Homo-oligomer: A and B are copies of this chain.
Amino acid sequence: MNLALLFDDDFVAANRALLTGRRLSHLHSVLKVAEGDLIPVGRVNGDIGTGRILQLTDAQAVVEVELTDPPPSPLPLTLIMAMPRPKMFRRVLQTCATLGVKDIWLINAYKVEKSFWQTPWLSEENLRENMVLGLEQARDTLLPRVHIRKLFKPFVEDELPTLLQNTRALVAHPGAGTPCPAHINGPTSLCIGPEGGFIPYEVDKLVEAGCEAVHLGSRILRVETAVPVLVSRLFDACG
Cβ-defined contact, B99 with A220, below 8 A: no
Across the interface, A2 reaches (CB within 8 A) one of B2, B220, B225, B238, namely B220
Closest chain B CB from A188 CB (angstroms)? 15
Given contacts A218-B72, A218-B139, A221-B137, contact A232 B228 (CB under 8 A): yes
A14 to B218, CA, bound (A): 27
Chain B residues within an 8 Å CB radius of A216: 238-239
Interface residues of A in 132-176 (CB under 8 A from B): 137-140
Knowing A182-B236, A231-B229, A239-B226, say if A219 contacts B95 (CB, 8 Å).
no
CA distance in complex: A222, B239 (Å): 10
Does A100 sit within 8 A of B, measured CB to CB? Answer: yes
Known contacts being A182-B236, A236-B182, is A72 close to B229, with CB within 8 Å? no
A238 proximity list for chain B (CB < 8 A): 216-217, 219, 229
How far is the CB of A228 from the nearest CB of chain B, in Å? 4
Residue A233, interface by CB 8 Å: yes
Query: Considering the chains assembled together, what is the distance between the CA atoms of A100 and B217 in angstroms?
Result: 11
A181 to chain B, nearest CB (A): 11
User: B-facing mask of A176-200, CB < 8 A → 1, else 0?
Assistant: 0000101000000000000000000
Report yes or no: A99 in contact with B231, Cβ–Cβ below 8 A: no
Contacts of A182 in B (CB 8 A): 236
